[in-house]
Amino acid sequence: MKPTDASSTGRLSRRDFFKGLGTTAVAAAAAQAESVAQELQKLNAEKVLGPGPVPVTLKVNGKTHRLELEPRVTLLDALRNHLGLTGPKEGCDRAACGACTVWLDGVAIYACQKLAIDAQGHEITTVEGLTPDGRLTPVQQAFVERDALQCGYCTPGFVMSVSALLRKKPKPTVDDVLHACAGNVCRCGTHPRVLEAALIAAGVRPVSMTRTEVISHV
Ligand X SMILES: Cc1cc2nc3c(=O)[nH]c(=O)nc-3n(C[C@H](O)[C@H](O)[C@H](O)COP(=O)(O)OP(=O)(O)OC[C@H]3O[C@@H](n4cnc5c(N)ncnc54)[C@H](O)[C@@H]3O)c2cc1C
Binding site for ligand X (CB under 6 A): 95-96
Range in contact with another protein (rule: CB under 8 A) among 29-37, 111-119, 125-133, 142-150: 111-119
- CA gap 101, 203 in Å, rounded: 24
Please identify, using beta-carbon distances, which residue of 60 and 154 lies nearer to ligand FES: 154
Nearest distance from C-beta of residue 208 to ligand X, angstroms: 31
Indicate which of another protein, ligand X, ligand FES, none lies near residue 178 (CB less than 5 to 8 Å, by partner kind).
Answer: another protein
Rounded to whole angstroms, the maximal C-alpha distance in the chain is 69
CA distance 153 to 204: 26
Residues that bind ligand FES (CB under 6 A): 90-93, 95-100, 110, 112, 149-155, 186-188, 190
Q: Of 19, 63, 72, 211, which lies in the binding site for another protein, with binding defined by CB under 8 A? A: 72
Per-residue burial over 64-85, b = 16 or more CB atoms within 10 Å of its CB, e = otherwise? bbebebbbebbbbbbbbebbeb
Query: For the residues of 66-105, what is the DSSP string, one character each?
Result: EEEE-TT-BHHHIIIIIS---SS--S-SSSSS-TTEEEET
Give whichever of 98 and 172 is closer to ligand FES, judged by the CB atom.
98
| Choice between 91 and 192, CB closer to ligand FES | 91
Per-residue x/- track, 33-52, another protein (CB under 8 A): --------x--xxxxxxxxx
Q: What angle do CA 165, 136, 193 make, to 5 degrees?
A: 55
CB of 147 to ligand FES, least distance (A): 10
Distance, C-alpha 154 to centroid of its chain: 14
Stretch that binds another protein, among 105-113, 147-155, 187-195, 205-213 (CB under 8 A): 105-113
CA distance 75 to 80: 9
Q: Which stretches of the chain bind another protein, using CB under 8 A?
A: 1-2, 41, 44-52, 54, 70-72, 74, 93-95, 98, 101, 104, 107-110, 113-115, 117-118, 161, 164-165, 178-184
